[in-house]
Amino acid sequence: MANDWFETVAEAQRRAKARLPKSVYGALIAGSEKGLSTNDNLTSFDQLGFAPHVAGNSNTREMSTTIMGQSLSMPVIISPTGVQAVHPQGEVAIARAAANRGIPMGLSSFASKSVEDVAAVNDSTLFQMYWCGDRATLEQRMERARAAGAKGLNVTLDWSFSNGRDWGSPWIPEKIDLKAIIKLAPEVLQKPAWLLSFAKTGRIPDLSAPNMAKPGEKAPTFFGAYYEWMQTPLPTWEDIAWLREQWGGPFMVKGVSRVDDAKRVVDLGATALSVSNHGGNNLDGTPAPIRALPAVADAVGSQIEVVLDGGIRRGSDVVKALALGARAVMIGRAYLWGLAANGQAGVENVLDVLRGGIDSAMLGMGKSNISELTRDDIVIPPDFLRALGTK
Ligand SMILES: Cc1cc2nc3c(=O)[nH]c(=O)nc-3n(C[C@H](O)[C@H](O)[C@H](O)COP(=O)(O)O)c2cc1C
């Protein structure tokens, strides 16, 4: 039998590409327009360097921390992703892997599994919502998540409904009916391992968003939920303050790039914010979060927990983000590649790769605790940083 273990996230991605139907893989690649932001998210980390020590380094290294009142065995959180059809166990497998490795699970309201099923296997589940539907609907979804055991609420604010990718968007059907099966058959039949994994469960991916169901109604399709979101008037800061108040517990605003926005997030009393450009899937040309992070951390880091997501593929990326001011990072595609490559074990494998990389970078830098990391530990090229919204 082939060895299922992989040594890097890049290898997990290669296996995901080999295993997934083209459309499903394309949905995970995502990105928008010209792909400027997705590219910058990755290449910006390559431009940062380390200045390692060679002797006198610490024999022990501590990387645990807390975010939104949750314990993290390492400074990594599962970022919410609303994707379908990657693996039959979907977000439940991801949540189990995260629980086994001692980190919180971010669950998208557009996910393919219910918050009840996910929170049942990870008692550190953070539920993510968009500003979608009227206040009564938002409240009902939030209360459902709370009743299921979600420990925190994450509202994602960066989305501009951009469409069109220069490399082409995958065709994703509204639902899997006969017409869709016939159209997708040529690409799906080329991926027997993926097909078999679903066939074994006796179910085909239904492309629905169970957490977006209205009480007593059946789950809408992914596109049905997306349509509801598109029709919703955009939120004001007062709306977000209302949401935070309704929730009452640990609250994160995800998608901040600018210092002035970060200050408003502090003003509304949030627990955490994520410096993020939605993995480059939003307004193309938004700089990589790692470039915007230091200005945000300098401005509000003592008043709110600052997290970064976008472009994390190795433990050394995590260490760079921490040194530049993040308390922890969230990961998206990295765990999706692991899930596609080898289910729950693949997600655990990705988390182990990151842990090993964090440990190795800390060793090289002579750090015994992640709290010792500072900006001086990083080689930052001139013109690297972007202080947005400071004037
Ligand atoms: C396929 C895909 C779906 C996503 N869906 C959501 C979502 O439903 N809600 C959300 O807040 N962010 C979503 N994101 C953004 C991620 O939470 C995260 O910000 C991003 O993936 C981080 O970049 P990375 O993939 O380079 O780690 C999605 C990202 C991807 C790649």
Query: Atom of ligand 1 at shortest distance to CA of 154?
Result: 11
88 is written with which tokens?
């039959």
End-to-end CA distance of the chain: 59
pLDDT of 175 reads 83
Task: Give phi and psi for 79, each to the nearest 5.
Answer: -80, 145
Q: How confident is the model at residue 203 (pLDDT cuts 50, 70, 90)?
A: confident
Pocket of ligand 1 from Cβ distances under 6 Å: 27-28, 30, 41, 79-83, 108, 110, 128, 156, 254, 276, 278-279, 281, 309-312, 331-334
pLDDT at residue 176, rounded to an integer? 84
Q: How far is CA 241 from CA 118, 251, 280, 306, 378, in A?
A: 27, 10, 26, 18, 36
DSSP category for residue 388: -
Region 46-61: mean pLDDT is: 95
pLDDT for 1 equals 45
| Ligand 1 geometric centre to CA of 277 (Å) | 9
User: In whole angstroms, what is the distance from residue 241 CA to residue 183 CA?
Assistant: 45
User: Other CB atoms closer than 10 Å to residue 230's CB: what's the count?
Assistant: 10
In terms of Cα–Cα distance, which of 155, 153, 157, 156 is closest to 69? Answer: 153
Cβ atoms of 49 and 378 within 8 Å: the answer is yes
Ligand 1 center–CA 185 separation, angstroms: 27
User: How remote is the CA of residue 53 from the centroid of ligand 1, in Å?
Assistant: 35
Cα gap 258→246, rounded to integer Å: 25
Instruction: Return the pLDDT at 119.
Output: 98
Ligand 1 atom having least distance to the Cα of 28: 1
What is the residue with the minimal CA distance to atom 6 of ligand 1? 81
How far are the Cα atoms of 61, 65, 323, 326, 374 from residue 371, in angstroms, in the given order?
11, 9, 9, 10, 8
Minimal CA–CA distance to 243: which of 336, 337, 373, 156? 156
Query: Is 278 a known active-site residue?
Result: yes
Choice among 254, 278, 355, 367 that is catalytic: 278
The residue whose C-alpha atom lies closest to atom 3 belonging to ligand 1 is 81
Q: Write the residue with the smallest CA distance to atom 19 of ligand 1.
A: 278
Taking the centre of ligand 1 as the mean of its atom positions, its distance from the CA of residue 312, in whole angstroms, is: 12
CA 268 to chain centre: 23
* Secondary-structure percent of the chain, ordered helix, strand, coil, rounded to 5: 45, 15, 40
Least confident of 7-21, 168-182, 353-367: 168-182
Of the candidates 250, 246, 258, 12, which has an alpha carbon nearest to the alpha carbon of residue 154? 250
pLDDT at 280: 97
CA atoms within 13 A on the CB side of 338: 30
- Decide if 335 contacts 94 (C-beta within 8 A): yes
> CB neighbours of 307 closer than 8 A, spacing ≥ 6?
67, 77, 252, 272, 273, 274, 275, 326, 327, 328, 329, 330
**Matching residue, tokens 């010209």:** 34
Q: What is the mean pLDDT of the chain?
A: 96
57 CA → ligand 1 middle, Å = 36
- Largest distance between two CA atoms of the chain: 66
Q: What is the mean pLDDT of residues 357-377?
A: 97
Question: Which mutation among 278, 313, 314, 336 tests ligand 1's pocket best, with the greatest number of atoms within 8 A of CB?
Answer: 278
Spatial distance between the Cα atoms of 338 and 10, rounded to a whole number of angstroms: 10
pLDDT at site 2 = 61
Q: Strand (E) positions, 109-198?
A: 125-129, 152-156
Among 23, 28, 79, 128, which residue has the most ligand 1 atoms within 8 Å of its CB, making it the best to mutate? 79
Give the residues across from 253 on adjacent strands.
155, 273
Structure tokens that stand for 113 in this block:
């599994």
By most ligand atoms within 8 Å of CB, the mutation choice from 129, 132, 281, 331 for ligand 1 is: 281
CB neighbour list of residue 117: distance below 8 Å, 6 or more residues apart = 91, 92
Whether the predicted pLDDT of 10 surpasses 70: yes
Question: Residues 261-266: what's their mean pLDDT?
Answer: 98
User: What are the Cα distances from residue 187, in Å, to 182, 190, 262?
Assistant: 10, 5, 44
Per-residue pLDDT reduced to its tens digit, 156-185: 999 999 879 999 999 888 888 888 888 999
pLDDT above 70 coverage of the chain, percent: 99
Radius of gyration of the chain (CA): 20
Rounded to an integer, the average pLDDT of 15-35 is: 96
Q: Let me know the angle formed at the C-alpha of 90 by 87 and 95, rounded to the nearest 5 degrees.
A: 135
Amino acid at 249: G
Neighbours of 384 (CB within 10 A): 16
Q: Can you give the pLDDT at residue 304?
A: 98
Structural tokens at position 44: 């910006």
pLDDT at 26 over 80: yes
DSSP three-state, residue 318:
helix
Distance CA 332, CA 327 (A): 17
Write the pLDDT tens digit of every residue in 76-133.
999 999 988 999 999 999 999 999 999 999 999 999 999 999 999 999 999 999 999 9
pLDDT score of 3 more than 90:
no
Can you tell me which atom of ligand 1 is nearest the CA of 106?
Answer: 17
Q: How far is the CA of 290 from the centre of ligand 1 (A)?
A: 16
